Structure 1
Amino acid sequence: MRFRKDANVNANDFYGPGAGVNAKFFQSPSGNVRCGIDFDDPQIPSGCQASTSVRSNTGVTCLNRGNSVYSTQLISGAAVSKCVNQPFFVGGSGNPGQDTVGGRVLQYGQIISVGGTTCESAAVGISCWANSVGFTLARDRNDTYDPGYGQR
């Protein structure tokens, strides 16, 4: 698998609030994977989190509930798997109870790209990459990719 690079959605259509900060938020068609990229606060990395996933290929194991759900983030030229306890990458999470929690759906085959980060929604999960590193996160997949993997 090589990462595609050409966006086919307008990233600004995905802009909105999250838990105290704005970004481009989106989610998988199933709603299991939720992502945020291009945060207003440059200290917050782009990434995704899953309500349910599997142990990452780097060995990170989370509980899939409460304060331990799977997340992968693009940090300083690396894709890093972590367990998170807050809705870091969940759009609308600052307004619980609204129909927008999670952000707009990024339909299968759609690609969003902004600020050097590109993400694609597919049946196998949501894949994101930047600077030749990336990840795929889904209910049954949790993989990070080394530098150079997505290069053409």
Structure 2
Amino acid sequence: MRTVLMLAAVVALTGGLTACGTESGSSLPSTTTQHSATYASPAPSTGQPSSAPGAGSPGAGSPGTGSPDAGSPGAGSPGAGSPDTQAPDTPKPTAVPAPSKDGFTPVDANKYQLDGGHYFRSPSGNIYCGILTQAPYGVGCQLASTNYISPKLPNCTDAPDRKVAAHLYQGKSELLCTSQGIFVGIPQDGSPAGGVVLNYAESLTVNGYTCSSSSQGVRCVSGGHGFAISADDQHTF
């Protein structure tokens, strides 16, 4: 009897161990299946870099957010903007002195400075003038030759030592005869006597004296007083 009971106990114990092994074995495959599902299947939530069109690469991002194709054509590139709104560079015109109200163009006085004064000659070379800083001061002109001699100069001739001249100083103008080149500048470089040519329709102003050159002669004024001189006429005002 005891032997039968012990055999039954052994059989019962063996069956219990088998049940525990089966439960334990079934749980392991289940766990393995869960881990396999976790790592083997694709994870959509972490697959954005593969689905996005190359984040950080050229063309990435939406239009208008910094991509080369964003916005208007050529935006941000050299030469961007409408070329029709940019005026082409053009050389600046050379500055030309504006004519004065009497129609004469002022000249640069420095070009005429010579030997303590400012000297010029007419384009014809017959009238020599000087605006002086030394005695007799003022401004004066003299003729190389003349066709007419004012009645105010009865002692003047066309001789080298009796040349017709005119002078203006401190509001007083006068005609006179000169025996030397008082108003003739003598360049030191061998240039023609008389200084630089004052062309027709040009005027020179120095120390309040203004001389204007025209085909009718030279006219010098200061404070409303002056003279006009040419081979055909000499008068004061």
How high is the TM-score relative to the length of structure 2?
A: 0.53
1:75 CA drift (Å): 2.5
- Rounded Cα–Cα distance in structure 1 between residues aligned with 2:143 and 2:231: 7
Superposed CA offset, 1:76-99 (max 9, x none):
312100000010110117x5x922
Partner SS, residue 86 of structure 1: coil
Equivalent residue letter for 2:111: D
Which residue does 1:10 correspond to in 2? 108
Higher helix share: 2
1:65 CA drift (Å): 1.6
Partner SS, residue 111 of structure 2: helix
Q: Contact conserved, 1:92 with 1:102, CA < 8 A, in 2?
A: yes
Which residue does 1:98 correspond to in 2? 190
Partner SS, residue 13 of structure 1: helix
Change (3 A) 1:42 1:4: farther
Q: 1:107 aligns with which of 190, 195, 199?
A: 199
Q: Structure 1 vs Structure 2: percent identity of aligned residues?
A: 30
Partner SS, residue 140 of structure 1: coil
Which residue does 2:159 correspond to in 1? 65
- Rounded Cα–Cα distance in structure 2 between residues aligned with 1:43 and 1:66: 20
How high is the TM-score relative to the length of structure 1?
A: 0.80
Of stretches 25-34 and 61-70 in structure 1, the one that deviates more from structure 2 is: 61-70
Which residue does 2:180 correspond to in 1? 86
Partner SS, residue 130 of structure 2: strand
- Rounded Cα–Cα distance in structure 2 between residues aligned with 1:137 and 1:43: 18
Superposition pairs of residues 31-50 of structure 1, within 5 angstroms: 31-37=125-131, 39-41=132-134, 43-50=136-143
Which residue does 1:150 correspond to in 2? none
1:43 CA drift (Å): 4.7
> Which runs of 4 or more aligned residues in structure 1 lie more than 3 Å from their structure 2 counterparts after TM superposition?
3-7
Q: Which has the higher contact order (CA 8 A, sep 6+)?
A: 1
How well do the aligned residues superpose, as a CA RMSD in angstroms?
A: 2.2
Q: Contact conserved, 1:7 with 1:118, CA < 8 A, in 2?
A: no
Superposed CA offset, 1:46-82 (max 9, x none):
11001123222x6213111221001100033121000
Q: Contact conserved, 1:5 with 1:118, CA < 8 A, in 2?
A: no
Superposed CA offset, 1:101-142 (max 9, x none):
111000000000110100000000000011211111111111
Higher strand share: 1
1:5 CA drift (Å): 8.9
Greater Rg by CA? 2
Change (3 A) 1:43 1:88: closer
Q: Contact conserved, 1:7 with 1:113, CA < 8 A, in 2?
A: no
For structure 1, the residue ranges without an aligned partner over 5 or more in a row are 146-152
